[in-house]
């Protein structure tokens, strides 16, 4: 990223951290261990990709961060709950997340499950409260909830688990289903929520949905490659787990070199879609390139 894009990214992240701080300022939860376990994972935020995408899209459309701030918070809560559950022994069984011990390694498996449950329910509560703002917020909240559940992220995670160890019986179709649902649909939510809130032209909604889908595939394919050649100190999570657990990853199906070419194509598709938008999208383009070049 160039200096301007990095500064813009930092501004968006800082804006979201303030939204999160304001939320915690009013949060009163008992027992204390539940509050601590929720905060532990939610405050260990990583790149904040989804809120950043939502804020950037809102401003690209001429709107304000405050218009979508609470929905960005709900989306990040859903993402965080999924990571807590994803790290559990019954799922991906990872001891580290973002360079720190996973939630269940600190608070125990039971408390980690409950922290994830609490974050998911808080996210839906926030979405319901936003629906009071009118029909466009209702439609935006519905988009988030649908893409997070049985027609989105949960379906992708279920398929990911089901096909583990079955890479001889499954292939490209199944792998694409996993990535589309487990990763891409949450990113689609991040970039389409603002256009839904602002009741923007359906063609713009469709273009941004396609951008989000391709960015999701780019993110996941890059993630699959980093699982092979990444650095724990940069990634903050265990390397080589996909191969060790015989996951149906793109690297497993296509090999690392072909995945690099595929990632380049998805990057180029994203940039092409952004060029078709009647808006200034320089930051989103820079962010797309940074996803392709990321090491963490």
For residue range 62-98, list pLDDT tens digits in order.
999 999 999 999 999 999 999 999 999 999 899 999 8
Sign of CA dihedral 66, 71, 72, 76: positive
Residue with tokens 């980093």: 226
* Residue ranges of domains in the chain, CATH in brackets: 3-293 (1.10.600.10)
Distance CA 262, CA 251 (A): 11
Q: Which residues contact 64 (CB under 8 A, 6 or more apart)?
A: 58
Q: What is the mean pLDDT of the chain?
A: 94
Collect contacts of 90-94 with beta carbons under 8 A, ≥24 apart: 91/157, 91/161, 92/241, 92/245, 94/237, 94/238, 94/241
Is the model more confident about 237 or about 252?
252
d(C-alpha 60, C-alpha 77), whole Å: 24
- Report CA Rg, the chain: 18
Residue 45 has pLDDT above 80, yes or no: no
pLDDT digits (tens, 9 = 90+) for 138-176: 999 999 999 999 999 999 999 999 998 887 788 899 999
**This model's pTM is above 0.85:** yes
* pLDDT tens-digit series, residues 215-225: 999 999 999 99
Query: Is residue 296 scored above 80 in pLDDT?
Result: no
Residues, the chain, total?
296
Query: Encoding tokens for residue 15?
Result: 């804006």
Determine the pLDDT at residue 151. 97
State the angle between helix axes of 3-26 and 32-43 in degrees (0 to 180), rounded to the nearest 10. 170
C-beta of residue 91 within 8 angstroms of C-beta of residue 160: no
Render pLDDT for 94-148 as a digit per residue (tens, 0 to 9).
999 988 999 999 999 999 999 999 999 999 999 999 999 999 999 999 999 999 9
């Amino acid at each position: 990223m160039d200096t301007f894009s990095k500064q813009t990214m930092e501004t968006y992240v800082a804006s979201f951290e303030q939204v999160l701080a304001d939320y915690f300022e009013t949060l009163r939860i008992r027992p204390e261990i539940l509050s601590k376990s929720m905060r532990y994972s939610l405050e260990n935020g990583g790149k904040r990709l989804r809120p950043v995408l939502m804020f950037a899209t809102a401003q690209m459309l001429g709107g304000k961060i405050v218009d979508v701030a609470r929905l960005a918070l709900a989306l990040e809560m859903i993402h965080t709950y999924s990571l807590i559950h994803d790290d559990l022994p019954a799922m991906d069984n990872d001891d580290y997340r973002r360079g720190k011990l996973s939630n269940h390694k600190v608070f125990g498996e039971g408390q980690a499950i409950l922290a994830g449950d609490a974050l998911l329910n808080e996210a839906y509560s926030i979405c319901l409260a936003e629906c009071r703002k009118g029909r466009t917020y209702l439609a935006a909240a519905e988009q988030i909830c649908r893409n997070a559940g049985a027609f989105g992220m949960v379906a992708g995670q279920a398929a990911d688990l089901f096909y583990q160890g079955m890479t001889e019986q499954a292939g490209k179709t199944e792998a694409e289903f996993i990535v589309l649902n487990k990763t891409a649909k949450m990113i689609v939510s991040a970039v389409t929520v603002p256009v839904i809130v602002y009741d923007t032209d359906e063609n713009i909604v469709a273009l941004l949905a396609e951008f989000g889908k391709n960015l999701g595939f780019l993110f996941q394919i890059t993630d699959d490659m980093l699982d092979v050649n990444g650095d724990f100190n940069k990634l903050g999570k265990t390397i080589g787990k996909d191969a060790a657990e015989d996951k149906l990853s793109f690297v497993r199906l296509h090999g690392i070199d072909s995945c690099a070419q595929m990632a380049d194509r998805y990057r180029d598709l994203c940039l092409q879609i952004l060029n078709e938008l009647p808006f200034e999208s320089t930051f989103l383009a820079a962010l797309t390139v940074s996803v392709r070049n990321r090491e963490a």
